[in-house]
Amino acid sequence: MATSKHPKPDKHTAFCYSFKPRELKYFLFGKKICPNCGGALKKCKGYVTLNDEMPHSRDDCSRIDTSSVKYYRYSYSCAGCGSVFTLEELAEGK
């Protein structure tokens, strides 16, 4: 079958999310409060591209092409003081 799709400039062959249990708990239920100033945190979705590297899942993903993995990560920014925290930092607490 001929493929006439436009080539995507940022092609990823796989993607994954990675939450540790604490991070998932914070993500779903935690109060998104800035540890510095107590202001409200705003969620930002970002990702990094991993090359030939699938975190936390050596076995599950061994049969798919992981040459370019889109790895989603979340961070939170504070409008009050401008601090940015990763989900991991917030989940681990003070």
Touching Zn ion, residues 5-34 (CB under 5 A): 34
Q: Which of 11, 13, 17, 36 binds Zn ion (CB under 5 A)?
A: 36
Instruction: Find out whether 71 and 87 touch, Cβ atoms under 8 Å.
Output: no
Q: Does 41 bind Zn ion (CB under 5 A)?
A: no
Beta carbon nearer to Zn ion, 34 or 50: 34
SS3 72: strand
Beta carbon nearer to Zn ion, 34 or 91: 34
Instruction: Find out whether 42 and 79 touch, Cβ atoms under 8 Å.
Output: yes
Instruction: Find out whether 32 and 40 touch, Cβ atoms under 8 Å.
Output: yes
Residue with tokens 């510095």: 36
Q: Which of 20, 81, 84, 92 binds Zn ion (CB under 5 A)?
A: 81
Q: Which of 50, 54, 69, 78 binds Zn ion (CB under 5 A)?
A: 78
Q: Which residues pair with 44 in a beta bridge?
A: 75
* Binding interface with Zn ion (CB under 5 A): 34, 36-37, 39, 78, 80-81, 83
